[in-house]
Structure formats: C-alpha cells, structure tokens
Amino acid sequence: MRALIPTFFFFLLHLFLSPLTPKAQEAGDQREDKLPWRMHTLFSVECQDYFDWQTVGLMHSLRKANHPGPVTRLLSCTEDELSRYRGMNLAPTMVVPSMSRHPRTGDWYPAINKPAGVVHWLENSQDAENVDWVVILDADMIVRGPLIPWELGAEKGKPVAAYYGYLKGCDNILAKLHTTHPEWCDKVGGILAMHINDLRALAPLWLSKTEEVREDRAHWSTNITGDIYGMGWISEMYGYSFGAAEVGLHHKINDDIMIYPGYIPRPTVEPVLMHYGLPFKVGNWSFSKLEHHEDGIVYDCNRLFPPPPFPREVEMLEPDPNIRRSLFISIECINTLNEGLHIHHLSAGCPKPRWSKYLSFLKSNRFKELTKPKYLNQPASYTTVINKSRIVGEFHGRKPKIHTLFSTECSTYFDWQTVGFMHSFRLSGQPGGVTRLLSCTDEDLKMYKGHDLAPTHYVPSMTQHPLTGDLYPAINKPAAVLHWLNHVKTDAEYVVILDADMIMRGPITPWEYGARPGHPVSTPYGYLIGCDNVLAEIHTRNPSFCEKVGGVIIMHIDDLKRFAMLWFHKSLEVRADKEHYATNITGDIYASGWISEMYGYSFAAAELKLRHVIRSDIMLYPGYVPESASNIRVFHYGLRFSVGNWSFDKADWRDIDVVNTCWAKFPDAPDASSITTGDPDERARDLLSIECAKTLNTALYLHHQRRRCPTEDVTRGESAGEKKLEDKVKVDTVLSDFNSSTGGGLPGEKKLEDEVQVDRVLSDINFSLNTSSTFHRSEAETRSNMRWMVALWGIFVLVFFCAASFVLSGRKRAVLKPRSSRNKKR
C-alpha cells in the first residue's frame, strides 16, 4: 500500500502541474469536431536517446499549440535496437524497418528513413485509409500554433512547404539528370502539408529518387548540390524535390511558416514553427542539438537543458525590437523543450524537483502568455514601427547617426594600415564613431602589441576555417561584421564599411551619396565578371540583381542585419566552389578563389534584392587617373602604384614592422616639383599618389611621436624637428599643386588644410618637448619639483598658523568663561 501512495501522489501532481495538456487536448478535440476534413501528422525518428528528447519536445508543443488530429511517430529501428529501446511510450508510434544501412548497397545514410517510413505508413497503417490531408514534420521542431493544411493554403496538386534556398541543384545539371521535369523542381523542405492522394503518388518516387541522388557521387560537390560538406547528406531533400517534379506537384512556398531560432523574423510575421536544426544563442547562453547527440536527458529524473536568460533579462539585453523579438523566439524554443521534459519526468514517476526560480517561471502566467498558440496571419508580438521618411530615403534636414567599421588581423602588416587609416579618419571630418574589427586567434592575441591603435572590437579569427581547414583570411571581414552586429549595441542608423588599406580624404555620408533602406551605396568593381555568367546562376536565385560592387559600403543598419549572415555564408559557398575558380569565370587573375568574399557580398545582396547606388567618384586606386579628382574621398592603395622611378606596394611591407620600430617609415615619395609631365590627367594622378604616400608617412611619424620614441640619431646635421618641418612643407606643396591643377579641392578643403596644419604645428611643439636632451628634460623636471616643494611648504606654514591661532583663541575663551560663572553665583 505504501508503494502505491507515491505513484498515486505523482499522478495527481502531474495532473495539477500540467493543466495545459488536458486543456490543449480538449481544445484540439473540439476543433477536430468542426474540421471539414480529416488530417494526420507524421514525423520520423530512430531508436536513439537523441531523437527521444526531440520527440518529447515536439509532442508537448503539438498539444500546447492546439494542433488538431492524430499524430504518428515513424520509429525506424533494427530488431536489435528495438529489443533495447526504452521510449515506446513517448508518442503514438508505428515501428518501421530501419534503412539506415541500405539493404542493397550497404550505404550508411539514416536520412533515407524519412521517405521509407512514409511509404511504410501508407502501405501498412489503417490511419492512412481514413485521412484527407497529411502534415509531415521533423523531430527537431517546436510547433507554436495549429498547422492545418487548407488554412495554410494547400490544395490538391499544390502542397505547402517552407523555402530551402540552398537546394541549388534544382537550377543546374542535377535536376536535368534526375527528373524529366527540371523546370518543376522546387527548393522546399521543412514542413510539408499535402493531400493524401498527392502523398500516395509522391512517396515511392521520394524514396527511389533519394536512392538515386545518393548513389550519384559524381555530383555531390558543393557547387552542384549546395551541400557545404560535399558528402551527399542532403540527398533525401533532393529526392523529395525531384519526386515532386516527376509527379507534377507545384508547391505553394511559404517563407513565413517556419523559422530557425537565432534568425530574425520579418516584421509583422509570426512564425508558427521553430526548427532548431542549427546552433543559436542569447547573450552568453547557447544551444546546439548536436551537443546532446547521446544525451539520455529523457530518462534522467528532473534534469533539463541549461535554462536560457529570463524574458526580463532579454529585454535589457537588446534594445533593437527586431533582434529582441528573435531572442524571445529562441528562449521560447528551449523553454518549451524544458517544459515538456519537466512534465514528462513527473508523469514517469520521478520525485518532485526542488523549487527553483526557473521552474517557477515555467509555471507562471507570464510564460503561458508568451507561449500561447500563434496563428500564421496574426500580427507579430514584437514588431517595430519604421519611420516612413526613412523608407523613401529622405532625411528632411535630419542627419542620421553613422558608424564606421574596418576589418584587420593581429599582425604588424595591418597595424601600419590601421595607423594610416585612423590618422586620415581623424582629419576627414567623418561623423560618428569608428571601430576596428580585429580578428585574432588566442595565441596571436597574447603576443599582440597594437591594442591602442584604434577603438577595437575583438573577433575570433576565421582565417583557418574550423571545419574545412581552408586558409582564407578574407572571410574575416563578413565574419567580423556579423560578430559586431551580434555583440555590440549601436544606435547608428547607417554603417560605413571600409578596408584597412584606405586613406580617407573627406566624409562619407548617406545623405551626400543617396543611401537609403534597400539601396546601399558602393563603388564599382568591374572585374567581378561572375555576375554575368554561370557563377551568379549557381550561387543566387536572383542573378539579375547581382551588381559588381565593393570597396566602400554605406548600408542602412536594418539591411545590414538581414544581409550580414548571407554575406558570410555566400562567401563560404563561393570559396568552396573550386570548380569555378577559373579567371574567365571569376575575373580573379590568380584563379585561386581569393575574391570569394567579394562575390559573397554581391550574391548575398542579390538574394535580398538590394539595389546599389553605384558611385565611381568616391574611391580611387592611387596610380589611376581620377575621373573627378576634387570629389575623391578615399584612396584604396591595394595595388602597386608609382611616380617616376619611385613605387609603393603594400605587399612589400607584409613582414616589416614599421609600427613598433621607432621612426621607421616608407621610402619618401618624390617632391611635387619633380613631376614634369604636361598632361593634366597624369599630373593629377601623380599628385594624388604622392599625397597618399605622404599621408601614410605622416601618420607613422605622429604615431612614433605619441609612443615617445627617443630622438632620432641624425647623421646629416639636421634635427628631427627640421626634417618634420621639411615634410610638412612638401605635403603642403603637393596639396597646393594638386588644387591648382584641378581647379579646386574637396568641399571644405580649406578647413581640412587648417586642421592638418594645426595638427602638425601641435605635433611639432610636442615633438620638440619630447625630443629635448636628457639634460634639459631633467633640468626642467628639477625646476618643476622645486616649485612644488616651495608651494607645499607654503601651504604647510599657512595651515600651521591657522591651527595655532584657533587653539590660542579657544584657550582665551576657556579662561574667561569660569570667571563670569563665579560672579553670577555670588
């Protein structure tokens, strides 16, 4: 009798603590009675702990979301696995023979169990004879609202599915090889909602096409399939698409139904399905299903996944309403999983868990409100209101906030570029702040000396890809921008992205160059010929939107947040496409994939259908003839340039430390007076080249001065101050000659020249102080110390006399007071 009491107690406790489940079931039953058609939901798993905790989460979410109709788990197991399996009670189940190891080929491919399970269900289940519509889900999903096929828009011959854009094989030779109707191949997956007759026609082909694509090893490469591992892992997805094309199904593709936690949903859209197939994070907390591949959490009493931040913490964590909404979806996903595990543990007879703040939250009204059923067409809970004036790109006299970014690595090569960039940034009049995105390994960071060169955001290095081992430093640029967006709070409305090997000559602003939401500003990169050929057709759905741009980028923050992840992924995708590295395809003269990041930018922008304002008057490569010299705002010294017999190539200085070697500099550029050409274009070209080189050397000089380098050992009889003055005169001469040759200068150039001269005069003063002889410095310090000593002694004497005066006056009052008292008593 005593043994029965705890069991009965926990049964009552389960009923008390999980009122959502019976209520949800009751609501679902009531809705089923009103449904015009019969529906059934399927999902496929295997006999593993990994799928068991996913099953608990999915089943709990289906009940919580009031999802109608029966559910069947298609459990693929070998006989040996089934004899040891302990999770038969987790869901209504149909056991399916495992095809993880193919019975004919011996190929190990567990994903084939999904179509094989559906075929088995159609052939062997009575439920398949009594249903009109079928919804097929994956186990690693959390349902937020009822998924009713006809309400989602499904029709006979027109199933509903989510968009899977990376299935590029629908557009190339893969579809031509594996279906007679490649034009009907749809890039879909995730949720599938279709009529039972369509499923009966599709299922056998889904299975056979999966086997067919899996065996086609000759076409597993990333550039054909989009599979970043190039191992045929997504053959089942292609099996579905090719099978549907063969049957003649035309999908209604809905990109709003499903979301991956960590992604930002579109404004006004409330996704009704979460697919946690990818890692996601909120602040310092993160979750990845792969980390729990052998986790028996379902069978460990009262153990839950690490709890995410509470809603109140999320509200404080992120001010941007769109990102905050994404974070709420992420914590809802893991909280629903944990709630399902908690209820399961109670129903399994586990002892009552100790009270915790987190469990209390899972039972709170706030959590119930946050996780109440969602409906696809209802307004989103955390939407943002967009200022209409920003949509049309008119600033109405208001200048939005700007922030400038540039990307570097932990090397002295990037340090001298940073010194030059920051010097020019300070003189340019660029509004807003600036951040250096510094990508470093832990080992590099320990040895790094240049922390003070610029305001810095530190980024983990992606130079060597953690999965593929590919050495590609350029990937750090999109990776760093993505990291900055995810870790830094900014109130900037526009972001200017530049490269470290640039010298700014004036401000770069959205209001001057016409940037607006959906229309970034950039400069032309005509050699990106891949926008016009097969490369764009392979790597973007919208090749007509591919634009040959790069260098300077001015982008609205909302666009950048949508764009950055795609930029990163497309860069990796193009980098992996080694079959199309050829110069005649990419325009890369080295044919080695070095400009993959540039294509990643253009293809990602095409995916979002961003239209650039392309301005050729912003940036100039020194050594090129300027189109409109007076408007150039940026020198990009990425290529070798020369004036007469003098030349400069940044690559020559890759391993030379000119930042930490006192007074090191680049070879002096020629004087402006040495330019003898009578051609005005050539003269303007050479003057600009000289200006770029002089600016770099001036920046290095001021850097060494700030580092308090010792006095130069001058062997030619001229002091460092005299040499500095000579350089100043030379640069002023260059500017004067350039302005006279071009008929003017930058808007506000006089102001900039004044700032440059003031900066240099102050630098000369500081330099003369810092480079005085040791004797003079010590003499000045001695005089200064003497003044302090005299002042301190004076203060001490003054305080002493004040204290003495106070004590003496107090004694006088003390002597007089008793006498008066005695007189009164008498």
Q: What is the pLDDT of residues 285-304, one digit of tens each?
A: 999 999 999 999 999 999 99
The encoded tokens of residue 544 equal 């007509």
Half-sphere exposure of 393 (CA within 13 A, CB side): 15
Strands (E), 39-187: 39-46, 71-77, 93-97, 133-138, 141-143, 160-163
Using only C-alpha atoms, what is the Rg of the chain? 35
Measured CA to CA, the distance from residue 153 to residue 150 in angstroms comes to: 5
Supply angle C-alpha 293, 299, 302, rounded to 5.
Answer: 105
Residue 105's pLDDT is 92
Closest CA to 329 of 258, 386, 253: 258
| Per-residue confidence band for 472, with pLDDT thresholds at 50, 70 and 90 | very high
Residue 397's pLDDT is 56
Residue 257's pLDDT is 92
Query: Of all residues in the chain, what percent carry a pLDDT higher than 90?
Result: 71
Q: Which spans in 707-719 are helix H?
A: none
- DSSP of 294-349: T--GGGSTT--PPP---HHHHHHH---HHHHHHHHHHHHHHHHHHHHHHHHHHHTT
Measured CA to CA, the distance from residue 340 to residue 59 in angstroms comes to: 8
The contacts of residue 37 (CB under 8 Å, 6+ apart) are 132, 133, 150
Residue 399's pLDDT is 85
Q: Is 516 helix (H, G, I), strand (E, B) or coil?
A: strand
Q: Among all chains, which residue has been given the structure tokens 């065996």?
A: 215
User: In the β-sheet with 141-143, what is the strand arrangement from edge to edge?
Assistant: 141-143, 273-275, 258-259
Dihedral Cα 722, 728, 731, 732, nearest 10 deg: -130
In this prediction, residues 520-539 reach a mean pLDDT of 94
Q: Per residue in 250-280, pLDDT tens? A: 999 988 899 999 998 887 788 999 999 999 9
Q: Per residue in 73-130, pLDDT tens? A: 999 999 999 999 999 999 999 999 999 999 999 999 999 999 999 999 999 999 999 9
Measured CA to CA, the distance from residue 226 to residue 239 in angstroms comes to: 14
Q: Is 504 helix (H, G, I), strand (E, B) or coil?
A: strand
- Does pLDDT of 222 surpass 50? yes
Q: Among all chains, which residue has been given the structure tokens 């907390």?
A: 285
Cβ–Cβ < 8 Å for 177, 243: no
Provide the residue type at 717 as one letter: G
Measured CA to CA, the distance from residue 533 to residue 530 in angstroms comes to: 5
Closest CA to 605 of 552, 560, 557: 560
User: In the β-sheet with 71-77, what is the strand arrangement from edge to edge?
Assistant: 93-97, 71-77, 39-46, 133-138, 188-195, 160-163, 252-253
Count of C-beta atoms within a 10 Å radius of residue 529: 16
Residue 467's pLDDT is 84
In this prediction, residues 593-615 reach a mean pLDDT of 95
Cβ–Cβ < 8 Å for 510, 557: no
Q: Among all chains, which residue has been given the structure tokens 């088995």?
A: 120
Cβ–Cβ < 8 Å for 38, 68: no
| Per-residue confidence band for 165, with pLDDT thresholds at 50, 70 and 90 | confident
In this prediction, residues 611-637 reach a mean pLDDT of 88
Long-range contacts of 285-293 (CB under 8 A, 24+ apart): 285/309, 287/261, 287/334, 289/50, 289/54, 289/140, 292/50, 292/53, 293/50
**Helices 680-706 and 720-742 meet at what angle, rounded to 10?**
150
Cβ–Cβ < 8 Å for 136, 190: no
Q: Among all chains, which residue has been given the structure tokens 């040791």?
A: 774
Dihedral Cα 388, 486, 287, 573, nearest 10 deg: 90
Residue 121's pLDDT is 97
- Pairing between strand 273-275 and 280-282? unpaired
Q: List 273's β-bridge partners, or say none.
A: 143, 258
Q: Is 274 helix (H, G, I), strand (E, B) or coil?
A: strand
Query: Of all residues in the chain, what percent carry a pLDDT higher than 70?
Result: 79
Residue 805's pLDDT is 66
Residue 650's pLDDT is 97
Q: Among all chains, which residue has been given the structure tokens 């770029």?
A: 692
Task: Enter the DSSP assignment of 475.
Answer: G
Task: Enter the DSSP assignment of 603.
Answer: H
Q: Report the Cα 30 to chain-centroid distance in Å.
A: 44
pTM of the entire predicted model: 0.49
Residue 402's pLDDT is 96
| Per-residue confidence band for 226, with pLDDT thresholds at 50, 70 and 90 | confident
Measured CA to CA, the distance from residue 700 to residue 368 in angstroms comes to: 61
Measured CA to CA, the distance from residue 775 to residue 773 in angstroms comes to: 5
- Give me the sign of the Cα torsion angle 584, 586, 588, 590: negative
Dihedral Cα 352, 355, 356, 361, nearest 10 deg: 80
Q: Per residue in 557-598, pLDDT tens? A: 999 999 999 999 999 999 999 999 999 999 998 899 999 999
- Give the CA distances from residue 421 to residues 87, 401, 424, 549, 695, in Å, rounded to whole numbers and listed in that order: 62, 21, 5, 21, 9
- Does pLDDT of 735 surpass 50? no
- DSSP of 737-750: HHHHHHTS-STTHH
Measured CA to CA, the distance from residue 498 to residue 644 in angstroms comes to: 29
Q: For the chain, what is the mean pLDDT?
A: 83
Cβ–Cβ < 8 Å for 75, 47: yes
Measured CA to CA, the distance from residue 384 to residue 320 in angstroms comes to: 9
The encoded tokens of residue 418 equal 């940073």
Count of C-beta atoms within a 10 Å radius of residue 43: 24
Count of C-beta atoms within a 10 Å radius of residue 221: 15
- Does pLDDT of 343 surpass 70? yes
Cβ–Cβ < 8 Å for 380, 326: no
- Does pLDDT of 339 surpass 90? yes
The contacts of residue 779 (CB under 8 Å, 6+ apart) are none
- Does pLDDT of 785 surpass 70? no
In this prediction, residues 647-668 reach a mean pLDDT of 96
Provide the residue type at 608 as one letter: L
The encoded tokens of residue 66 equal 């009031």
- Does pLDDT of 656 surpass 60? yes
Dihedral Cα 707, 712, 718, 720, nearest 10 deg: 0
Residue 773's pLDDT is 34
- Does pLDDT of 34 surpass 80? no
Residue 36's pLDDT is 82
The contacts of residue 128 (CB under 8 Å, 6+ apart) are 40, 121, 122, 196
- Does pLDDT of 46 surpass 80? yes
- Does pLDDT of 818 surpass 70? no
- Does pLDDT of 370 surpass 50? yes
